[in-house]
Structure 1
Amino acid sequence: MTGSPAARGTPTAAHSATPARRSPQEFRLGNEILAFRFVATLGERRAEPLERITTPEQLRAWCTANDLGGTDMPVSDALLRDARELREAIHRAGSAAAVDGTPEPADEELLNRWTARHRARLTLTGGRAQWHLPDTDPARAALAVVALDAVATLGGHRDGVIKRCEQPTCGGLFMDTSRGGRRRWCSMATCGNKMKKANLKAARGGA
């Protein structure tokens, strides 16, 4: 799917801690897959979770940063809770796909409920694809776009292989389209750079 710039179940141990607050300026927007960029609104999944959408305003800021709505788009506390539930379903389903597994039926059902709400229009303007949201409940329609992107990705409508980031504290998802399938990080600029620094420090004896 094109158009964007390029919770059910028992929480994992990583989610048992209260996520730290992060500002909208710290969103992880480098992932090529819209749905996986949304997954990254909870960072450091394998360590102390970093929640980047702690308020409705931050959820709106993430949508705006991904060309899914304007700065005046209304977002409720209830929608924020639903958004986090959607995010975690995408992460679980993507994690299952990363190990050649099939998502849990409950997660597939949740994603399918979201895609059934899809009411945005994709238009071409000046050679650029752009989503136009309905006037009624545009924020929910924006999240339906994210769900549709997740279904297309998980369902094999993209080139590449779904993987989980190998940076020890991350746990994010990405699509490996590299030659030979050797990509290991969700982002070279962040997780890859962390691993390079860690390896360099280890090579120097931890100094």
Structure 2
Amino acid sequence: ARRSRAAAAAEDTGADAALLDALKEQTEQLAQLVQLQERAIERLAGNGKAGVGTMPRVGVFVDSANVELARDRTRGGRPIDWGLVLDRVTEGRRLVRAIAYSPVHDDPGVSRETQRFVEPFLGKGFKIVTKPLKRFADGSIKANVDIELALDVITMADRLDVAVLASGDGDFQHLVEVLQSRGIRVEVAGLGQSVAGNLKRAADQYIELDFAQKKK
């Protein structure tokens, strides 16, 4: 009887040890799974190694008339290479969309491709959104694409990590602040004194476009 009790006790001790070993192994496996999950979350959040899936998503939006007219008034009117601009602001990033907002004449005798606010962006990687110039009775002409630009940026906001706005128009300050409130980094690009001070101050970064001006 004593031997039976001793044998039973030994068996119980062995079973307990086996159970502890099994629990220890499961705990280690769970810890490994947690580590793998944390690494996966970091990669999805963009904190892992650089790659297509982790590159910041960027949208580029150009108020073409504003910048091109500013270019006429500064630095001798040297043309801007918009392809070079796009290369610079998208370096290390994944481009979602690049759009130039360009007012155009409604004169049927003037081709769209040759118009001054369209031609600089042709073949440079930009989608070109056009809007007819408004002519008033006093002979003045107005071209305002602010609403179209702002609506597009807000519509795309959930697909962007960075928004690059090429304009000097201080009216865009509120748009910049709305995007920032959604966690989007906003970079403003422009030419010198043509960019409103309030717009520069609101941006996370200001980019001077003189680097892309062609030499005459």
TM-score range normalised by the length of the shorter chain: under 0.3
Name the structure where helix makes up a greater proportion of residues.
2
State the TM-score, normalizing by the size of structure 2.
Answer: 0.26
Q: Which has the larger radius of gyration?
A: 2
Name the structure where strand makes up a greater proportion of residues.
2
